[in-house]
């Protein structure tokens, strides 16, 4: 079976297609993750990024930064699941 992908709301810009501020804004606020579309294609079996909690932003809590992309998911908010061990 092939990998089915699903369109999901871009976590980094929250589906807006633009980022409000930050160093990642290079081209007039266009979101660098979804390139302004507001949605990203994610394989259906991917899961929420544990590092950013699906926010696409780097860091949680005291070191939370709204400007930087999560390095694990690159801002998408979704990551490939670990390989299953059974069978
Ligand atoms: Zn985006
Ligand atoms: Zn992440």
pLDDT (tens digit per residue) in 25-35: 444 578 889 99
Predicted pLDDT of residue 80: 94
Q: What is the pLDDT of residues 41-78, one digit of tens each?
A: 999 999 999 988 998 987 555 554 556 788 899 999 99
CA of 54 to the centre of ligand 2 (A): 6
Ligand located closest to 40 CA: 1
Predicted pLDDT of residue 20: 66
Query: Which pTM value belongs to this model?
Result: 0.75
Ligand located closest to 80 CA: 2
**What share of residues in the chain are helix, strand, coil (percent, to 5)?**
5, 20, 75
Ligand located closest to 20 CA: 1
| pLDDT band per the 50, 70, 90 thresholds, residue 86 | low
CA of 21 to the centre of ligand 1 (A): 13
Residue 40 above 70 pLDDT? yes
CA of 33 to the centre of ligand 2 (A): 12
Task: For the beta carbon of residue 28, count every other beta carbon within 10 angstroms.
Answer: 7
């Amino acid at each position: 079976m092939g990998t089915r992908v699903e369109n999901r709301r871009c976590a980094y810009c929250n589906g807006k297609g633009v980022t409000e501020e930050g160093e990642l804004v290079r081209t007039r606020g266009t979101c660098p993750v979804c390139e302004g579309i507001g949605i990203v294609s994610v394989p259906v079996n991917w899961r929420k990024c544990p590092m950013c909690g699906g926010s696409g932003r780097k860091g949680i809590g005291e070191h939370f930064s709204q400007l930087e992309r999560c390095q694990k998911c690159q801002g998408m908010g979704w990551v490939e699941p670990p390989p299953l061990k059974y069978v």
